[in-house]
Amino acid sequence: MSLRELKVCLLGDTGVGKSSIVWRFVEDSFDPNINPTIGASFMTKTVQYQNELHKFLIWDTAGQERFRALAPMYYRGSAAAIIVYDITKEDSFQTLKNWVKELRQHGPPNIVVAIAGNKCDLTDAREVPEKDAKDYADSIHAIFVETSAKNAININEVFIEISKRIPVVEATGASSGKGFKLGRQASESRRTCC
Amino acid sequence: MALQGSEELGEQVEEPEDLDDQDASSISPAEEITLPPGPGGDEESEEALLLPWDRFSAWLHCICVVGFDLELGQAVEVIYPHHSKLSEKEKTSICYLSFPDSNSGCLGDTQFCFRFRQGSNRKSSLGCFLETADRDAPPCLKREQGHYYGYVYFRQVRDKSLKRGYFQKSLVLISKLPYVTFFHSLLKIMAPEYFEKQEPCLEAACNDIDRWPTPHPGRILTLPIMGVVLKIRIPTCYDKPGTSQLVHSAQSDSLVSIVLPTIHEVDLFRCFYPVFFHIQMLWELVLLGEALVVMAPSPAESSDTVLALVSCISPLRYGSDFRPYFTIHDSEFKEYTTRTQAPPSVILGVTNPFFAKTLQHWPHIIRIGDMKQAGEMAKQMKVKKLKNLKTLDSKPGVYTAYKPYLNKDEDIIKQLQKGVQQKRPSAAQNAILRRYFLELTQSFIIPLERYVASLMPLQKTISPWKSPPQLRPFIQQDFMRTLEKAGPQLTSRLKGDWIGLYRHFLKSPNFDGWFRNRRREMTQKLEALHLEALCEEDLQQRIQKHTEVEAVDLVLKLKDKLTQAEREQLPLRPGTITKLRSHIDAVILALPEDLQGILHKPPTP
């Protein structure tokens, strides 16, 4: 079985729960009083996908504005980006759209994009309708899930979906991160969205 | 065994995961790989005790940004983390040493390193912890005691918006660790980002470093920094010298992860290229701790050459002071350049033309031309007479009156020359040269090792009831006599005055440092053997025949032994300490109750 390192970055507004998602995925724990991230924090987790081991090198970036300019260091070379918004904050969904634009302009051409609407346990306070987000995700051919790091909903699923979209390495041993192009996606993956 | 270990580790870089694990998704994110556990292996629990900034401090003292102020000149603009302590004197040193000395036209980005004396004695709260980690490091990779290294990334670019017309700034890492290649690679990642993105970038980098595992020899360390993962392995003193430790994995994207094959080795061939014909003589000069100065056109070339010199006698540790880049502003300038006494045993790298005059009286001077104008090598065959060195405009070469003890090895020169003609890759040339130096140094040092090992008292002279026997003294004549039969001729075909070389070496600081280190190791071994012998005794039975006073005396002595064993980390067989503790307890329990109470009390510090 071969091991592949896949760089994954998490992007999104401050406080939407990027670190909580990573903590839930890696450590399977949740801390409501997590400190704001400085720069970015790094964690890894290896999962089996078919005949490969996917080792996710996860860069969980800071959402605070003063670290905004550092983002390219983290999405550079990434095989996938998980852009997170908070379903109870309309603003955070707007920020997400800006991240998509930035990735399109400056990100790796084949990066796999996943959109995670976090805090889906707080339905009473919902501001972003699931359908709007899903339509948007479909329009850019991104993976879409609503998640709750707190209740461990759909966290592993995001990463499984990412694994599915990471193309198998060719025999030539080409580098990782050959994903689907933003905006131009194979029809097969479109089916999984609908 | 060490070799086997390293091969295993080499493979594990590519597949660090435990593939036998059924549930692959549950593999922990922390994946430092440990060597077979050495003595006292509780590192993981120790790491858990580390406080914020402890991990950072284990790698770096601080990070400085040095800029140029039109009124003040060079100034430290930022020190990160803000609580790091630097004396004014240290700051001044860092300021001068972080910029090219003269207008050497370093346009663009330059990397070099310097070394400076630690101003005040600052005791790290981590001291004990770091010593444990340092114990397994080879001598030349141990943490510096009284000096800091400064690793510099200097940028100078035209900028019309600035009054001076230029942007000039250095990002400097201050550390006690001599991992020159590692820190240069680190700066190559950090500095360009910093110059663009300023402080948040430093904050992020420091935060990354503060979550690194501590620099522990023998493990493969995964070091995330600013979006990239660096993988390194710090060699141990048990490795077979000259074996490469990490292998590049086939699939590697430098934006994702970077495997550094070495953390400290400089490219010897590139550094020695301008003075290539004299490498063997330079090896002797370094081995003997002779005063050497490298005059180079830029700090990068001066520091590379000095580092190459210092490392050419590896695995021996160069015992004297060395300054990869030294300026007229250095606090040791007077001390090192005075004419009232013989030049000190140091190696200096300088770029300021002023030194050509100041150090005119030095016995050995290496002049390096611009390394970019290569191909001149073949002409510089002859060693130049010192009187010919007048100014920095003098021709490149080695200026000395020194007559090497050993005959010149023409084979290595030919081999390397052939490599140049055939355009052999620099890495291969470097490997050839490195191996050559290693074999030469080993041929030289093995007879000494063998003789010193014979100074160890026989095991049977160790008695638990007497103090441990003393090492026999080093007697030069005795050693010289061993050379006839077991000298370097066994491993080296080089002829020449080996005896003369040894005689000279025995007076040098390098011998002093080497012997002191050996003696300490052997004394500790003796202490350990003694303690083990003591633990094998039936102490209770013995106590029964003795008075109370003698029993108390024994307890106190044993307690001393215990403290010593723990403090010095004696190389004991596993379980000895536990055994000793239970012995102590047993003897105490055999005493009257009032005494028991007193003796059980932990010793007051």
pLDDT digits (tens, 9 = 90+) for B216-245: 999 899 999 999 999 999 999 888 876 666
Say how many CA atoms lie within 13 Å of B371 toward its Cβ. 19
Integer Rg of chain B from CA: 27
* Spatial distance between the Cα atoms of B318 and B287, rounded to a whole number of angstroms: 8
Extract the tokens encoding B597.
């109470």
Q: Considering the entire predicted model, what is its pTM?
A: 0.85
- Nearest CA to B194 among A12, A73, A61? A73
Tell me which of B210, B230, B256 to substitute to probe the interface with A (most A C-beta atoms closer than 10 Å). B256
Give residue ranges of A with CB < 8 Å to any B CB.
Answer: 1, 3-5, 7, 9, 26-27, 38-48, 53, 55, 57, 59, 62, 66-67, 69-70, 73-74, 76-77, 156, 169, 173, 175-177
Q: How many angstroms separate the CA atoms of B188 and B468, rounded?
A: 52
Per-residue DSSP letter, B464: T
Cross-chain residue pair B208–A40, CB shorter than 8 Å: yes
Greatest Cα pair distance, chain A, in angstroms, is 52
The residue of B55, B228, B230 whose CB has the most chain A CBs within 10 angstroms, and thus the best one to mutate to test that interface, is B228
Q: Is the pLDDT of residue A172 over 60?
A: no
Q: Taking a C-beta distance cutoff of 8 angstroms, is the pair B241, B278 a contact?
A: no
DSSP letter assigned to residue A184: B
pLDDT band at B2 (very low <50, low <70, confident <90, very high): very low
Name the pLDDT band for B319 (thresholds 50, 70, 90). Answer: very high
Q: What is the average pLDDT across A19-47?
A: 94
Helix (H, G, I), strand (E, B) or coil at B219: coil
Calculate the CA dihedral of residues A58, A63, A66, A67 and round it to 10 degrees.
10
The whole-number average pLDDT for the span B571-591 is 84
Tell me the CA distances in angstroms from B290 to A111, B293, B346, B439, B513, one per residue in order. Answer: 58, 10, 7, 21, 15
Average pLDDT over residues B580-604: 78
Nearest CA in chain B to A80: B256
pLDDT of residue B79: 94
Helix extents (H) in B327-409? 333-337, 354-358
CA gap B296, B281 in Å, rounded: 19
Helix (H, G, I), strand (E, B) or coil at B196: helix
Backbone angles phi, psi at B515, to 5 degrees: -70, -40
Confidence of residue B8 (pLDDT cuts 50, 70, 90): very low
**Using alpha carbons only, what angle is made at residue B263 by residues B259 and B265, rounded to the nearest 5 degrees?**
120
Query: Does the pLDDT value for residue B506 go beyond 80?
Result: yes
Bridge partners of A3, per DSSP, are A53
* Cα B529 to Cα B463: distance, rounded to the nearest angstrom: 10
Continuous segment of H or E residues that includes residue A55: strand A52-61
Q: What is the mean pLDDT of residues A54-64?
A: 96
Q: What was the pLDDT predicted at B252?
A: 66
Contacts of B486 (CB under 8 A, 6+ apart): B447, B450
Nearest partner of B169 among B68, B263, B251, judged by Cα: B68
**How many whole angstroms separate alpha carbon B420 and alpha carbon B425?**
9
HSE (side-chain half, CA atoms, 13 Å) at B374: 9
- Chain A touched by B29 (CB under 8 Å): yes
Q: What is the pairing mode between strands B228-233 and B257-259? A: parallel
The distance of B227 to chain A (nearest Cα, Å) reads 5
Q: Give the rounded percent of residues in chain B with a pLDDT score beyond 70.
A: 83
Backbone angles phi and psi of A7, in degrees to 5: -80, 130
CA B191 – CA B591 distance, rounded (Å): 66
pLDDT at A114 over 80: yes
Our CA-based measurement puts residue A171 at a distance from the nearest CA of chain B, in whole angstroms, of 12
Nearest CA-CA partner of B349 in B305, B396, B395, B290: B305
What confidence score (pLDDT) does residue B5 get?
37
Q: B278 phi and psi, to 5 degrees?
A: -110, 15
A38/B29 CB distance under 8 A: no
Tell me the residue length of chain B: 605
Per-residue pLDDT tens over the stretch B510-544: 999 999 999 999 999 999 998 888 888 877 777 77
- Alpha carbon A128 to its chain centroid, in Å, reads 18
DSSP sequence for B134-166: HHTS-GGGSPPSSEEEEEEEEEEEE-TTSTTSE
Bridge partners of residue B80, in order along the sequence: B63
Length of chain A: 194
C-alpha–C-alpha distance, residues A75 and A8, integer Å? 7
Q: Lowest mean pLDDT: which of B7-11, B162-166, B471-475?
A: B7-11
Q: Which of B91-105, B163-177, B386-400 has the highest mean pLDDT?
A: B163-177
The answer to whether B17 contacts A39, with C-beta atoms less than 8 Å apart, is no
pLDDT, position B603 = 54
